[in-house]
Amino acid sequence: MSTPRPPALRLESSWLPASDERAQAYTLTLKNLSSKPISDFTLCISGPGRVDPAVQIEGGTIGRRLSNFTEFLTPEDFVLEAGKTWTLSISALSWPFHHWTDGATSAYVAFADGTTLSLAVEPTRSLANNAPLKRGAEIYPVPVNPPVPVSIVPWPNQVSVSGRRSLPPGLALNAGEPSAVAAAQAFTALVDHLFAVEGIVRPAAEGGMPVMLDIVEGFAPEAYTMAFSGDLVRISATTQTGLLYGLITLGQIWRGAHLYPHAFKFPTDGTISDEPSMGWRGLHLDVARQFYGKAEIKKLLSILAWNKVNRFHWHLSDDEAWRVEIEAYPALTEIGAWRGHGLAVPPLLGSGPERTGGYYTKATVREIVAHAKELGIEVVPEIDVPGHCFAMQQAIPELRDPAEVGSYFSVQGFPDNCINPAREKTYEVLETIFRELIELFPFKTIHIGADEVPLGAWSGSPEALGRLREIAGDATAEAHAKRLNVITNTHGADDIVGSGAAVLQAVFLERVQKFLAEEGCITGGWEEAAHGNVIDKSKSYLCGWRSVEVSAALAGEGYEMVVCPGQVYYLDMANSPDWDEPGASWAGWSEPETLYNFDPVEGWTDEQKKKLRGIQACIWSEPMTDRAVFDRLVFPRISALAESAWTKPSDKSWERFKAVAGLMPILYAYP
């Protein structure tokens, strides 16, 4: 008996911007390419774009809607005949589409018998722009006559080299002290990971040029000097990381002369003296919206090291998923790490009906953290609380008041996604989780998120309203209760300053930060962690994401700041406003040159600058289903960020950077 073949279906989508004469329209067309009719089915899609709660739709109705997952119902008794199409036209979206990645990135049909059929999804077409869609990193060509004789990113403090010698076949590393030996081993593993066939490190027997590694007291922790002298190079530093950074600079010089011998040289004489201008040079990666396997994370860390980036902010939880093993609560990964049709978390952001996702075991985390440490990178885990906890609550429902009624929604369209600050169970669970995390992350800096709590959070919780009444009085509690079932977040994340939600969040933040401090940890948070001014500023720092002005104001209040404004340093934002560029648009757009020339402390006073830890780029993964989109959005902007954090502003040059940036490694190298 043969198995019946599934019907052949294809989904096409298009976007028509609004004009004076017409409303915007997002059109979905399901085509039945088979020879048989189909009925009793629903169409399910997901992608960065979201259908608005105030649905305006022609051709069908909405079934289930959760964030960017939408189920479309056919008209009553509808049959999609062979060779025919079903068309849906949607004019109410949470925001207008601006880029080809905004539309559906996955789709499937669910039948009444419980089976599903995945659909091939082409990028959404714009009816106002038919330019070829861009994917893959933009590689800047190396000019015939670059403005500098050696290829280095980020550019060092002082470069004074001369002469040109024939390129040695490779570098023979000579180290005696344990820190120098460790630096040599780390560099050897690094170049083998990134450029295995180039043979950058090779013994004298294969023609390797001697490179002497000296531990010398008196350097800053990440500083080094390099001296060229005929057939010898000597690198000096006080720390393993300093020596490693010197070797990375030398490796970049070697690769430039190797790959572009007419443009770059390998010097015979001179010195390079170098140290960073900022101590915190970071990259944030969201692994909740899209999952990245161990191999991807380790190679990304190697690329960060090649850019001398020294902080990896690992966003391990969000509404869409929970990604780290916690032995005390196995349901976090059994339930929260997976998405699929019929599961607690539905397909989102390009995942299909099949069970997909993943998480990092403790063994994997230890391996990644050790790899990062060898490369001079400290890892900061983030568990985003009290908001952004939809997946966490599916696994541990006790984090919600059982008597809570009604709903509130986050800016991303998740209902009731905040764990309850009035429940003792909340702190019992979090303290258990954080204790397990602290054992995994020896940097002892834990980021707790604290961003984007909705204005109506906990407005239907008797426990939370009772706690609010105790703290702020009857009037505040009653005003907050009136926010129940009121749709907010209509034009971006709510500003909750002065609200009952902010008061309750402050109660939560004060207790969690105090616990982490007692465990010997620094607490990180997004800028909203300043709500209530309750966390200990001497044992915490904030990531300022809205604007430089907000970061400056918080620095003026005494908070240590890592500056990462979305308009420039969020690498999920598109490179231009054009439809053919992938990426998000809610914070604007930022081409590499804009990011490179951006001043993260413009307008700051000298006192405010004393609170600057540094800067970091942030990768949010909503549009990253296609890894070629990752390459397009991240490279070369991560190198531009790295140079902004390392090189003195007076020594920066876009033309020099652009001439060399094409030599920097990228993660996937997809076309």
Whether residue 389 is found in the same domain as residue 349: yes
Encode pLDDT of 205-214 as tens digits.
999 999 999 9
In which band, very low, low, confident or very high, does the pLDDT at 2 lie, cut at 50, 70 and 90? very low
Report the C-alpha gap between 444 and 379 in whole angstroms.
9
Whether residue 445 is found in the same domain as residue 541: yes
Describe the strand order of the beta sheet including 85-90 as a list of residue ranges: 57-58, 85-90, 25-32, 9-16, 125-126
Report the C-alpha gap between 321 and 107 in whole angstroms.
19
Q: Which residues pair with 542 in a beta bridge?
A: 525, 561
Least confident of 126-130, 489-493, 494-498: 489-493
Whether residue 263 is found in the same domain as residue 285: no
Q: Which domain holds residue 34?
A: 9-126
Fill in the DSSP letter of residue 398.
G
Torsion over CA of 660, 661, 663 and 666, rounded to 10 degrees? 170
**Is a pLDDT exceeding 90 seen at residue 4?**
no
Q: Is residue 498 part of a domain?
A: no
Q: Is residue 465 part of a domain?
A: no
Amino acid at 215: I
Encode pLDDT of 617-640 as tens digits.
999 999 999 999 999 999 999 999
430: CATH: 3.20.20.80
Give the pLDDT of residue 21: 86
Q: Is residue 497 part of a domain?
A: no
Fill in the DSSP letter of residue 649.
G
Contact 136, 628 (CB under 8 A): yes
Q: Is residue 302 part of a domain?
A: yes
Give the pLDDT of residue 491: 63
Amino acid at 208: G
Share of the chain above pLDDT 70, in %: 99
**Is a pLDDT exceeding 90 seen at residue 322?**
yes
Q: Which residues pair with 449 in a beta bridge?
A: 385
Which of 408, 421, 627 is CA-nearest to residue 504?
Answer: 421
Q: Report the SS3 class of residue 215.
A: strand
Whether residue 562 is found in the same domain as residue 415: yes
Q: What angle do CA 33, 34, 40 make, to 5 degrees?
A: 100
Question: Strand pairing of 79-80 and 38-39?
Answer: antiparallel
Mean pLDDT over residues 77-89, rounded?
Answer: 97
Whether residue 542 is found in the same domain as residue 441: yes
Give the pLDDT of residue 494: 76
Residue that has been written with the tokens 């953290």 in this structure: 369
26: CATH: 2.60.40.290
- Residues 6 or more apart whose CB falls under 8 angstroms from that of 427 comprise 511, 512, 515
- Among 254, 274, 294, give the residue marking a domain's end: 274
Residue that has been written with the tokens 């009624």 in this structure: 405
Q: Report the SS3 class of residue 572.
A: coil
Mean pLDDT over residues 520-524, rounded?
Answer: 98
Distance, C-alpha 565 to centroid of its chain: 13
Contact 379, 441 (CB under 8 A): yes
Token representation of residue 341: 């049709």
232: CATH: 3.30.379.10
CA distances, 199 to each of 169, 170, 172, 182 (Å): 8, 6, 11, 19
Whether residue 337 is found in the same domain as residue 315: yes
Which of 449, 335, 471 is CA-nearest to residue 387?
Answer: 449
Whether residue 270 is found in the same domain as residue 305: no
In which band, very low, low, confident or very high, does the pLDDT at 104 lie, cut at 50, 70 and 90? very high
Q: Is residue 24 part of a domain?
A: yes
Length of the chain: 671
Give the pLDDT of residue 406: 86
Report the C-alpha gap between 370 and 366 in whole angstroms.
6
- Among 247, 274, 301, give the residue marking a domain's end: 274
Question: What is the domain count for the chain?
Answer: 3
Q: Is residue 141 part of a domain?
A: no
- Among 253, 274, 295, give the residue marking a domain's end: 274
Whether residue 95 is found in the same domain as residue 18: yes
- Per-residue 3-state assignment (H helix, E strand, C coil) for 134-188: CCCCCCCCCCCCCCCCCCCCCCCCEEEEECCECCCCEEEEEECCHHHHHHHHHHH
Report the C-alpha gap between 442 and 151 in whole angstroms.
34
- This prediction's pTM: 0.97
Report the C-alpha gap between 296 and 476 in whole angstroms.
48
Q: Is residue 502 part of a domain?
A: no
Give the pLDDT of residue 389: 98
**Is a pLDDT exceeding 60 seen at residue 190?**
yes
Encode pLDDT of 251-307 as tens digits.
999 999 999 999 999 999 999 999 999 999 999 999 999 999 999 999 999 999 999
Whether residue 287 is found in the same domain as residue 267: no
H or E segment and range at residue 395: helix 390-395
Q: Is residue 474 part of a domain?
A: no
Whether residue 265 is found in the same domain as residue 286: no
Give the pLDDT of residue 54: 82
Token representation of residue 479: 């005003």
Residue 347: Cβ within 10 Å count: 26
Encode pLDDT of 142-161 as tens digits.
999 999 999 999 999 999 99
Torsion over CA of 251, 254, 259 and 260, rounded to 10 degrees? 130
Contact 79, 7 (CB under 8 A): no
Encode pLDDT of 646-669 as tens digits.
999 999 999 999 999 999 999 999
Whether residue 300 is found in the same domain as residue 259: no
Whether residue 270 is found in the same domain as residue 286: no
